[in-house]
Homo-oligomer: A and B are copies of this chain.
Amino acid sequence: MNQILEKELETQTQNFKSLITEYCRLESVAAQNRMMQETANWVENLLKATGFATRQLPVDGAPNYVYGTIKGKSDFTLLLYNHYDVQPETPLALWESPPFEVTEKDGKLVARGICDNKAELIARICAIRAIQATQGELPINITWIIEGEEEIGSTHFDAMTRQYGDLLKTDGALWEGGGFNEKEQAHIALGFRGMLYVEYSVELMAHDAHSGGAHTLPSAAWRLVKALASLKDDNGRVLIPGFYADVREPTAMEQQVAHDNVDLEQEGRAKAMYGIDAFLHNRSGYDLEVSVYEPTANIAGFLSGYTEPGVKTVLPAKAMAKMDFRLVPNQRPDDILAKLKAYLKAQGFDDVQVTKLGGGDPVVTPLEGAFVQKITQICQTFTEQEPKIITLVGGTLPLLGAMKNNVGVLGISTSGNPAYYGSGAHAPNEHIRVRDIPRAIEFNVFMFTQLGETEV
């Protein structure tokens, strides 16, 4: 690295801290529609100040999408994706510092949404500014789309791509990504699981009753407990008929990657982080790696009746639960929703209402494509070792289905976000490590530069 760039990276690392502090202060909780327009404006202004031509893309019912383009030297156009929304900060009591105030402690920057996904946007901005300061014009064209609904399932991404898809046609895309692992490897994620997010609600009486009447009155809580319990057997296998019908086996390549990715040390770190003695079903090694090809049915929330301290003898009129199904190739959210509803009905749970709150297809990008191969090579050069390939991520980018079906653009996730396995996305005290910031910026500088140097 030349001295000019090195000095500029130092400058940008300093800029990073002040930008991320401003950005995280914006309480952009999509689930609660908090400060969404204010945050969109802030992001648009940041892109504008970095030389992008910008606009906001309005879509009925959605917070505005922020869109920006900037010209570069080569013909290659890279699509960057980020989201400016964050998860709710609850449970608030578990935070050790105010969730929306970036707090530096023990070499960490703590704030809601910092690793997921505000730090990555800032790292990309800082990298672009470093290139502009040291090289002038960018080596490639960049198109950037930043949404405000990722954490609630990218509800309107399909509608947005139908309306504005032409603006997003590019030569390759980088979705939100992660950091480098403990072995200093870069990561390349080819695929993401899909999702179906539903809310169950049961309401059986006009109001709560004294529980002394429990021998005569219907219980919403019991109905929901029984309905949920009916969805899984005691081994955790989903009992909805046809749920596994479209699940394909991992390919030979995917199985090979799962073998290659076995990392017992990382398993130990993850267990320590979650304070668990064993993973589900006591899995380890290959079995653990390949288990991402199993779909899940997770209870994300459950509420009924009195839940504060002490005794209340109440028979609750209502009960609700939230569930996310993580779907694997080739499951489809609407098909699973129909099967779920049919099963509950067949089981006699007509009193359990099911409302879809979000969804997205599982999408896998082939390893063999020119763009993926180029990124793989960039990672290898930067880290001086093979990147870690992840064929399927456990999480979901609900936008991938829309990008594939409506725009025809596939992409990947890679390193360049100053996050690490312990960042605690979605959890209290979400954070990044200060020491990961300069490398994230430097990697983005290197990647954007390399993408401009050869045709892909």
Chain A positions near chain B (C-beta within 8 angstroms):
30-32, 87-88, 90-91, 94, 151-153, 193, 195, 197, 204-219, 221-222, 225-226, 228-229, 232, 234, 236, 273-276, 279-280, 283, 288, 291-292, 294, 296-316, 319-320, 322, 324, 326, 357-358, 393-396, 424-429
Contacts and interface: CB of A to CB of B under 8 A. Distances in A.
Q: Which of A87, A193, A426 has the most CB of B within 10 A?
A: A426
A88 to B, nearest CB: 5
A211 B358 CA distance: 14
B296 A301 contact: no
A311 B31 contact: yes
Nearest to A302: B304
A225 B302 contact: yes
A296 B326 contact: no
A158 to B, nearest CB: 16
A302 B299 contact: no
Nearest 3 pairs of A and B residues by beta carbon: A212-B395, A31-B310, A206-B275
A329 B182 CA distance: 63
Nearest to A151: B311
A205 B300 contact: no
A305 B322 contact: yes
A232 B230 CA distance: 13
B280 A218 contact: yes
Contacts of A88: 306, 308, 310, 312
Given A30-B310, A205-B274, 20 more contacts: A30-B311, A88-B308, A151-B313, A152-B311, A153-B311, A195-B313, A204-B276, A209-B274, A210-B426, A211-B326, A214-B296, A214-B297, A214-B298, A221-B302, A229-B229, A300-B305, A302-B304, A302-B305, A311-B357, A313-B426
Contacts of A210: 394-395, 425-427
A280 to B, nearest CB: 5
Contacts of A228: 225, 229
14 contacts: A151-B311, A207-B427, A210-B394, A211-B326, A211-B395, A213-B394, A214-B394, A215-B294, A216-B280, A299-B304, A300-B315, A301-B312, A302-B305, A312-B322
